[in-house]
Amino acid sequence: MKQKWMVLFLLALLSALGVPAEAARAEKKIGVLMWSEDPAYYETWKGIMDQLKKEGLVEPLVSISLVNARGGKAKLSEMAHRFALAKMDVVVTIGTSATIAAAREIQDRPLVFAYVYDPVESGIVRKLESSGNNTTGASSGVSMPKVLNYLQEFSQVRRLAVLYTPGETNSELQLHALQKALADSHVKVVPVIISREEEVIPLLQVVVPAVDAIYLSGSRIVSKQVSVIVDMATKARVITITHRDDLVDRGVLLGICANPYLVGRLAGEKIVKVLKGGRPSSIPIGYLSRFDLKLNMKTAKAGGFRPSPSFMKSVTKLVE
Amino acid sequence: MSDKKVKDSISFRFQALISGILLISTAAISIMIGINERAMLYRTLSSKGQGLASYIAKLSQDPLIMKDYVQLDGIINEANKDEDIIYAIIQDPQGKTLTSQYASINYRLPRVKTLLSGLARDSELPEVIEAIQKKEAVFTVSVPIMAGTDVLGKVSIGMSEYMINQEIKKTITYILALNLTAMFTLGAILFFAFKRIIFNPITELVQATSRLARGDLTTKVVASGGGEIRILIDSFNQMAENLGARTSELLEAQEELVRKEKLAILGQLSGSVGHELRNPLGVMSNAVYYLKMVLSDADQTTKEYLEIIKQEIDNSLRIISDLLDFARTKPPQRQSLAAKELVRQSLKRCSIPENVIVTVDIPEALPSLNVDPPQMGQVLTNFITNAVQAMPEGGALRIAARFAGAGIAPAKPGCLEGAPPQFFVEISVTDTGTGISPENREKLFQPLFTTKTKGIGLGLVVCKNLVAANGGRIEVESEPGHETTFTVCLPAIEI
C-alpha cells in the first residue's frame, strides 16, 4: 500500500516538473496484426506469447495491442496504418498478407513477422540471412520437394490439384513452388482457383473426379472450407495433402507441416532480440529445422487409404 | 347431342374460329417478340463481351510481360463470374493457352458439369472448350493484348447464348400465359355474350321450327333478343300464327267441303226419292178427295179417318216438298218487295192459334227488299210456323223489321271478299217459347237435325240455303226458357 502511494507521488512530481508522461513509462508497445481468424495464426500467437513470457516480457513491461483484419484487405491496410501512426516499439505480423500490408506502411519501426511461408518470394525480405530492411521474423515454409516425396511415397499420383486463392500471397507462392517442383516430373499440377467460399462445392464437383490428389494451400477460404473439401475428396478416394498443421487436425489426410506454435516461439525470440535493441536487418530469418509428417487416421479410414508400413514409419504424428 | 351435331353447331364453329384467331395471333406475337428480343439481347451480349475482353486485355498486359500466369488466372477468373460467360482464355501469339482450366472455364454455372459429362478426366483446356462449343450455342469475342505495337497475346471470351434463350423462353412463356388467360377470358365473355344474344335465340328458333314441323301450330318463341334477332323471332312468331290460322281455315274449308259433298249426295237422294213419292201421294190425295165426295153421307168415324189420311198425305207432301227444296234450290228471281208485304203474306199463309198474340213492328220508311218473294215468303213462313210450334201453350209472336245499314255481302263461292257494300234490312221473328239450348243452337242448320216429332230436320237448312242464295244471312239468338229470335238479314234496294 505504501509503495503504491509512493509511485503516485513520484508521478505527480514528474508531471509538475514538466517531464512528459510517455517518458515516465518504461513499457514497450507491441502492436500485433493478424490476417484472419485462422486457428494456425492463434496457435502461432500462443507460441509468441509463451516465448515473451519466458523472457519475462509481460505487462506492465509490455503493452500489447492485438488486432485481426478477419481476412479484409482494406481493414488490414487501415490497421497497419494505425500502427504506423501509433509509433509502436515493434509491430508483430502473423500471416503473409498481414506482413506485406504492414511492411508497406511501416518502414521506420521494427517489424517482426511470423508464419510467413516464403518471405523472400513474398518480397518482404531480400535474403534469409539479412532482410535488408526493418523486418525479421520466423517462416512457416516447408520444402515442397519434400512434400511431394512423401506424397509419392504414399500413393502414385499423376494429377495434383492445387486449391489456391488469387490475391493471397502465401497461397499463390505455394502454387508457384509446387509448379516449380513438379515442372520436370510426370505429375501434372492442376491449379484450381477459388476466390469465393460458395465456389468450393461446384468446383470440387468437377475437380475431384479429374485428379488423384488435392493440395490445400494456405488460403483463408480453403481453411474455412476444409471439412467440405476433405469430405468430397475422401468420398472419391482422392488424397488431400497440405503443409498446414491445423488443417490436418481438421481432416486433411496428409500434412508435412511446420508447427505453428513452434514458429510462434521462434518469432518470439526475434521480438525479444528487437526489444533488446537488436537491428532487424541483422537478425536472420528463422526456419524450423524439423517438420512433422502428419497422418489423419480418421480420414484414412473413411477413404479406405492403406499406407505402406514404410510410410507409416516416417509418420511423426497421427491424428486419431 | 352427338359429336357431329356439336361440331356442326354455329356456336362450336364460332368458338373454334375465335380460339383459332386468338391462338394464331398469340403465336405470331410470340414469334415476333422472340425474334426482336433475341436480336436485342444478342447485340447487348456481344457488346458486353467486347467491352469485357478489352478490359481484360488491358489488365493482362503487365502479368503477361512478367509471365505471372497465376495473376492471369486471377483476372479471367473474375471475368468468369458473369453468367453470360462460359469460358475466358488468354493465349500467347503462338496460340498457346496460358490460363489454367479451372480459372478459364466458368464452372460456377451448374449446366457446365452436364455439358462436360463424358469427357475424359485428363482432358486439356482446348478439348474442354471444344466440348462446350459442341453442346451449347457460344460465340467467341477475341481482343488482342497489345503493348505499343507489339502483340503480346489475345483474350478470347466465350459468350453463351443460353441466357438469351432462357430469357426468350421466359418472355414467350409470359406472353403465352398472358395471352392464353386473355384468350380464355375473352373467349368466355364472347361465348356467353353471343350465346345470350345470338345462340340461345337461334337454338330456340331451331327447336320451335322442329316443333312446328311436327305439327305443333301453337309454337311460339319467347326468347329475348334485339335487332335482327328480334325481327327474326317476331317474323317466326307471325309466320307460326299465320300458319296456324291458315291451317285452321283449310281444315274448316275441308270440313265444309266434306259436309257439302255429303249434302249434295243427300240432295240427290232426296230429289229422286221425293220425285218418286210425290206422284203416288198425288194419286192418293186425289183418291181421298174422291172418297170424301162420294162418301159425303158416311158416318162420322169414316169421315174422321178420311181426314186423317188427308192430313198425313199433306204432311208427306210437305216433307217431300222440303226434300225437293233442299235438293234443288232454284236461282232466285229478285224483285223489289216491301218487307211489310212479305210479312203480311207470310202471316196469311200460317194458321196462328188464338192463344198466340202477334205483334208486327215494321217502319213505313224502310227500303224495299231485293229478293225472290216466294223464296223469302217460304223462309218467313218457316220462322213463323216454328215460332208458333214453340209456344204450344200460347205466347207472344213479335215480327219486326229495321234498316241494318251498309255492309259487305256474305262471301259466296267464287266471290272475292271486299265486294262493293250494299244495304240490308233485318226482319226478326221472336217467340216467347222455351228457347233453344246452346248445343242445339249449333246444330240448328245441320241437315236432318230436328227436335220435332213430325219433321225431318230440313226446314232451316232449306231456309239458310234460300237466304244465302238471295244474298242474305240468318242469325239466331236464344235464351233457354225465355225467348228465341230468328233474324234474317236481306239485301235492300239502293236508297
Q: Quick one: which of A126, A125, A67, A77 has its CA closest to A97?
A: A77
**DSSP 8-state symbol, B107:** T
C-alpha cell at B213: 314441323
Contacts of A193 in chain B (CB under 8 A): 73-74, 77, 100, 102-103
When pLDDT is averaged across residues B55-61 and rounded to a whole number, the result is 92
Share of chain B above pLDDT 90, in %: 27
Is B102–A190 a contact, with Cβ atoms under 8 angstroms apart?
Answer: yes
When pLDDT is averaged across residues B56-84 and rounded to a whole number, the result is 89
Residue A24 has pLDDT above 70, yes or no: no
Mutation for testing the B interface, residue in A163, A168, A193 having most B CBs under 10 Å: A193
Contacts of A207 in chain B (CB under 8 A): 102
Nearest chain B residue to A165 by CA: give it: B74
Contacts of B102 in chain A (CB under 8 A): 190-193, 203, 206-207
Separation CA A275–CA A148 (nearest Å): 39
Is A176–B101 a contact, with Cβ atoms under 8 angstroms apart?
Answer: no
In this complex, how many residue pairs, one in chain A and one in chain B, have their CB atoms less than 8 Å apart? 53
Contacts of A211 in chain B (CB under 8 A): 121
CB nearest to B77's CB, from A176, A193, A210: A193
Mutation for testing the A interface, residue in B67, B70, B75 having most A CBs under 10 Å: B70
Query: Residue B10 has what pLDDT?
Result: 73
Separation CA B72–CA B152 (nearest Å): 13
Q: What angle do CA A218, A220, A221 make, to 5 degrees?
A: 110
Query: Residue B413 has what pLDDT?
Result: 40
Query: Residue A7 has what pLDDT?
Result: 47
Is residue A41 within 8 Å of residue A247, measured between CB atoms?
no
Grid cell 497465376 is found at: B70
Query: Residue B78 has what pLDDT?
Result: 87
Picking from A211-220, B15-24, B405-414, which range would have the lowest pLDDT averaged per residue? B405-414
Contacts of B122 in chain A (CB under 8 A): 158-159, 188, 210
| Cα torsion A143, A147, A152, A158: sign | negative
Query: Residue B446 has what pLDDT?
Result: 79
When pLDDT is averaged across residues B55-77 and rounded to a whole number, the result is 90
Separation CA A178–CA A196 (nearest Å): 22
CB nearest to B113's CB, from A158, A195, A206: A206
Nearest chain A residue to B106 by CA: give it: A203
Of the ranges A167-171, A262-266, B297-301, the best mean pLDDT one: A262-266
B391: Cβ contacts below 8 Å, ≥ 6 apart: B355, B356, B397, B431, B432, B433
Nearest chain B residue to A200 by CA: give it: B108
C-alpha cell at B443: 246444330
Residue A298 has pLDDT above 90, yes or no: yes
Contacts of A164 in chain B (CB under 8 A): 70
B400: Cβ contacts below 8 Å, ≥ 6 apart: B360, B361, B362, B427, B428, B430
Nearest chain B residue to A177 by CA: give it: B70
Q: Quick one: which of B490, B273, B287 has its CA closest to B402?
A: B490
When pLDDT is averaged across residues A240-266 and rounded to a whole number, the result is 92
Is residue A217 within 8 Å of residue A196, measured between CB atoms?
no
State the SS3 of A254-287.
Answer: EEEECCHHHHHHHHHHHHHHHHCCCCHHHCCCEC
ipTM: 0.71
B43/chain A closest Cα distance in angstroms: 30
B55/chain A closest Cα distance in angstroms: 19
| Cα torsion B249, B255, B256, B258: sign | positive
C-alpha cell at B344: 203480311
Q: How do beta strands B473-479 and B483-491 pair?
A: antiparallel
> How high does pLDDT run on average in chain B?
85
Nearest chain A residue to B79 by CA: give it: A195
CB nearest to A209's CB, from B71, B102, B121: B121
Amino acid at B68: D
Picking from A31-40, A278-287, B237-246, B446-455, which range would have the lowest pLDDT averaged per residue? B446-455
Is A190–B116 a contact, with Cβ atoms under 8 angstroms apart?
Answer: no
Enclosing H/E stretch for A136: strand A135-139
- Helix A96-105 with A169-181: angle, nearest 10 deg: 120
Separation CA A206–CA B467 (nearest Å): 122
Backbone angles phi, psi at A163, to 5 degrees: -85, 120
Residue B412 has pLDDT above 70, yes or no: no
Strand partners for B347: none
Q: Which domains does chain A have, with CATH numbers?
A: 2-140+260-282 (3.40.50.2300), 144-257+292-319 (3.40.50.2300)
Residue A9 has pLDDT above 80, yes or no: no
Edge-to-edge strand ranges of the sheet holding B395-407: B356-361, B395-407, B422-431, B483-491, B473-479
> How high does pLDDT run on average in chain A?
87
Is residue B69 within 8 Å of residue B103, measured between CB atoms?
no
Query: Residue A4 has what pLDDT?
Result: 52
C-alpha cell at A48: 509468441
Burial class (CB in 10 A: 0-12, 13-18, 19+), A98: buried
pLDDT band at B421 (very low <50, low <70, confident <90, very high): low
The CA radius of gyration of chain A, in Å to the nearest whole number, is 22
Is B70–A207 a contact, with Cβ atoms under 8 angstroms apart?
Answer: no
B135/chain A closest Cα distance in angstroms: 17
Nearest chain A residue to B99 by CA: give it: A191
Separation CA B467–CA B424 (nearest Å): 13
Contacts of B78 in chain A (CB under 8 A): 195
- Per the document, the length of chain B is 495
**H helices then E strands: how many in chain A?**
14, 12
pLDDT band at B342 (very low <50, low <70, confident <90, very high): very high
A173/chain B closest Cα distance in angstroms: 9
CB nearest to B102's CB, from A158, A167, A191: A191
**Is residue A24 left, alpha or beta, with left meaning phi > 0 and alpha meaning psi from -120 to 50?**
alpha
CB atoms within 10 A of CB B169: 11
B292: Cβ contacts below 8 Å, ≥ 6 apart: B303, B306, B310
SS3 category, B265: helix
pLDDT band at A143 (very low <50, low <70, confident <90, very high): confident
- Per the document, the length of chain A is 320
pTM equals 0.57
SS3 category, B48: helix
Nearest chain A residue to B73 by CA: give it: A193
A300: Cβ contacts below 8 Å, ≥ 6 apart: A253, A306, A307
Higher pLDDT pick, A30 / B480: A30
Cα dihedral A78/A81/A83/A89 (nearest 10): 160
Separation CA B170–CA B41 (nearest Å): 13
Separation CA A143–CA B411 (nearest Å): 139
Q: Which residues of B touch A (CB under 8 A)?
A: 70-71, 73-74, 77-78, 100-103, 107-108, 110, 112-113, 116, 121-122
Q: What angle do CA B179, B184, B188 make, to 5 degrees?
A: 145
Picking from A157-166, A281-290, A299-308, B415-424, which range would have the lowest pLDDT averaged per residue? B415-424
Is B122–A159 a contact, with Cβ atoms under 8 angstroms apart?
Answer: yes
Picking from A4-8, A265-269, A296-300, which range would have the lowest pLDDT averaged per residue? A4-8
B102/chain A closest Cα distance in angstroms: 5
Enclosing H/E stretch for A67: strand A62-68
CB nearest to B103's CB, from A158, A193, A210: A193
pLDDT one-digit tens code per residue, A80-102: 999 999 889 999 999 988 999 99
A302/chain B closest Cα distance in angstroms: 24
Separation CA A77–CA A102 (nearest Å): 7
Separation CA B480–CA B432 (nearest Å): 10
Nearest chain A residue to B120 by CA: give it: A210
List C-alpha distances in Å: B474 to B259, B344, B410, B443, B489.
19, 20, 11, 14, 6
Cα atoms in the 13 Å half-sphere on the side-chain side of B319: 17
Mutation for testing the A interface, residue in B81, B107, B125 having most A CBs under 10 Å: B107
Is A190–B101 a contact, with Cβ atoms under 8 angstroms apart?
Answer: yes
Contacts of A197 in chain B (CB under 8 A): none
Start-to-end C-alpha separation, chain B: 71
Share of chain B above pLDDT 70, in %: 95
Query: Residue A1 has what pLDDT?
Result: 44
Backbone angles phi, psi at A135, to 5 degrees: -115, 155
Is residue B384 within 8 Å of residue B358, measured between CB atoms?
no
Residue B3 has pLDDT above 70, yes or no: no
